[in-house]
Amino acid sequence: MPEVAVRTEATLISSAQRGDRGAFEQIYRLHVGRVYAICLRLEADERRAEELTQDVFVRVWNKMGSFRGKSQFSSWLYRLAVNVVMEDRRTRVRRSRNETPSEDAVTYASGHVGRHTDASLDLELALRTLPSGARDVFVLYDVEGYKHEEIAAMMGITTGGSKAQLHRARKLLREVLK
């Protein structure tokens, strides 16, 4: 990120922490694409991803005061986004709702795909075919770069479980992408 942008974001964060909603909207504009990408890849459902993205930013607003600048704001924000998705997942499991991705999710392929190449679009679509546990770990490890220990803590599973899900995801994806 250019230095000017960093300074600008620091100012925006400081203003948002003082309750400046305009500054917070600019923070939203800066990060919505990344947060939405995380939610979409984890959820494999466009509508749910939009709702979760909104949940994330409402949560961020409420937690702005707890951001102390010890880590990068983006790291803090994206981890919070993952946590929101995981909490939502656990809540839905408790309520025994059907987690099958909606038919609408397919529209993602023809809609707002940004700078996707054909190869990356294939992978995005292949991700949707994975069981949620395997998809979560693949997205968090291979796409987002978290460590197994971090993933285990976020998902409430063991490190070994995280590794097993990753290997399973890679195997399934290779079969789908052949």
Partner 1 sequence: MKHDDVLNKLNEYLDGELSPAESARMNAHLEACPDCRAELEALRELMRKARDLPASVQPGRDLWPGIAARLEDRSVVTGDFRRKRTFSFWHNRSALAAAATVVLIILSVLGSLRPWEQEVISSATEQITVISTFAHIDRASDRVSRNILTRFDRHGNVAAMEANDVLTRNIGIIDGAIADIRSALQTDPTNTRLAQMLRSEYQRKMDLLRTVADLLGDDTDTGMNPTT
The residues binding partner 1 (CB under 8 A) are: 17-19, 21, 24-25, 28-29, 32-34, 36-37, 40-41, 46, 49-50, 53-54, 57-58, 61-62, 65-66, 111-117, 119-120, 123-124, 138, 142-143, 163, 166-167, 170, 173-174, 177
Between 92 and 116, whose beta carbon lies closer to partner 1? 116
Which residue number, 15 or 132, has a Cβ lying nearer to partner 1?
15
Complete DSSP assignment for 8-55? HHHHHHHHHHTT-HHHHHHHHHHHHHHHHHHHHHHH--HHHHHHHHHH
Q: Of the two residues 10 and 113, which places its CB atom closer to partner 1 in the complex?
A: 113
Total residues found in the chain within this entry: 178
Smallest distance, Å, CB 99 to partner 1? Answer: 21
> CB under 8 Å to 50, separation ≥6 — which residues?
36, 39
Nearest residue (CB) to partner 1, 32 versus 153: 32
Nearer to partner 1, 65 or 131 (CB): 65
Nearest distance, CB of residue 152 and partner 1, angstroms: 14
**What CA–CA distances, in Å, run from 27 to 19, 74, 115, 137, 152?**
13, 10, 22, 27, 29
Nearest to residue 99, comparing CAs of 41, 43, 156, 165? Answer: 43
Please report how close the Cβ of residue 156 comes to partner 1 at its closest, in angstroms: 21
**Residue whose entry in the numeric block shows the structure tokens 């995380």:** 38
- At closest approach, how far in Å is the CB of 118 from partner 1? 11
